[in-house]
A = this chain, B = another copy of it.
Amino acid sequence: MEEAITTTKITALAGGVGAARFLRGLTRAVPAETVTVIGNTGDDSVMYGLHVSPDLDIVSYTLAGIVDTAGWGIAGDTTHALTQIAGYGIDTWFTLKDRDIGTHMARTNWLAEGMTLTQITDHIRTSLGVTARILPMSNEPVRTKIVTLDGVTRDFQEYFVKRRHSEGVAAVTFDGARAASPAPGVMEAIEQADRILVCPSNPVLSIGPILAVPGIRETIARRREDVAAISPIIAGAALKGPAATLLPVVGAEATPTGVAALYRDFCGTMVLDRADAAQASRIEALGVRTLVTQTIMHSPAEAELLAKEILQL
């Protein structure tokens, strides 16, 4: 069985913290070099002049084993730059620590020199010793925007970090998505993978932008039988973040069934937690197979077990 797994090429669609935790297990379950991650760049933004790619960095830092316990940033990092900025009276609601700032300075420098986000992301992950491939979904800017119930359009980080996703949301848009194209390697990674996994990330905010890049959703749909998604919703709630409140915004129930309904055109299997076992029949009725297991990952070892179980389907 192990041997069958090690020869498999796996492509995973990923957001931030939840995805990274699963990917840490996946890259323990199979040789990391057989894994290609397609990362969300809808959360990218320019902060203090620096190009920040939160989800790509979370995945890189996590797989490099240097991620902070918060799930993002670098463990043991310092806040000297931010303290200086705060001393100038600037509201430093977006936390950037010093070593992490180095990553953003390098990225910004390379972008100014004409390197693509694909090249930059590859350079960062290899420098950090990560053997899994990490691809941005697109090299063109796609920017997730939140339209609040008050009719205000907010940049993603302002909604998510500054206002701690506390506002009612009327709509989510992905500015630039229609004009964007998949980054080099993305379509091949989908077409050539033996298995395609959708990480337990926010279906609206994290997986949504990836699927909004023209061509990606359709290409994954042609691989539907080989696609498995892990529900980020367990017992009606997200472990982290506003997935449960955002699913209804796109007309979906905040349950694994709701996620399956959103994904059914491209996803053949939904992986759901035992807490939601009762929903399996509803999901199957949508034409989506189910795997009911423990999806909460308390440790890399548990994430590895979850990955193995999915790959053995």
Chain A interfacial positions (CB closer than 8 Å to B): 46-51, 74, 77-78, 80-85, 87-90, 98-103, 105-106, 108-109, 111-112, 123-124, 127-128
Residue from A47, A51, A109 whose CB has the most chain B CB atoms within 10 Å: A109
- The reply to whether A90 and B106 contact each other, CB–CB distance below 8 Å, is yes
**What is the oligomeric copy number?**
2
Contact residues in B for A103 (Cβ distance below 8 Å): 84, 88
User: Once bound together, how far apart are the Cα atoms of A191 and B241, in whole Å?
Assistant: 59
Contact A101 B81, beta carbon cutoff 8 Å: yes
Q: Are A50 and B105 in contact (CB under 8 A)?
A: yes
The reply to whether B106 and A88 contact each other, CB–CB distance below 8 Å, is yes
Whether A112 contacts B49 in the complex (CB less than 8 A), given A87-B127, A98-B98, A105-B85, comes out as yes
Contact: B109 with A80, CB < 8 Å?
no
The 9 closest A-B pairs by CB, nearest first: A84-B102, A49-B108, A48-B105, A80-B98, A81-B102, A84-B99, A98-B98, A48-B109, A85-B102
Minimum distance in angstroms from A27 CB to a CB of chain B: 21
Most chain B CB inside 10 Å of its own CB: which residue of A88, A89, A111, A128: A88
Q: Cβ of A80 and Cβ of B83 under 8 Å apart? A: no
Q: How far is the CB of A173 from chain B (nearest CB, A)?
A: 23
Enumerate 16 A-B pairs (CB-CB under 8 Å) in ascending A order. A49-B105, A49-B108, A49-B112, A50-B50, A77-B80, A78-B78, A78-B80, A80-B102, A81-B102, A82-B102, A83-B99, A84-B106, A85-B105, A90-B106, A98-B98, A98-B101
Inter-chain contacts of A47 with B (CB < 8 A): 109
Whether A98 touches B78, Cβ cut-off 8 Å, given contacts A50-B49, A106-B84, A108-B49, is yes
- Tell me if B99 and A81 are in contact (CB < 8 A): yes
Q: How far is the CA of A103 from the CA of B85 in the complex (A)?
A: 6
CA distance A83 to B80 in the complex (A): 14
Min Cβ gap A223→B in Å is: 34
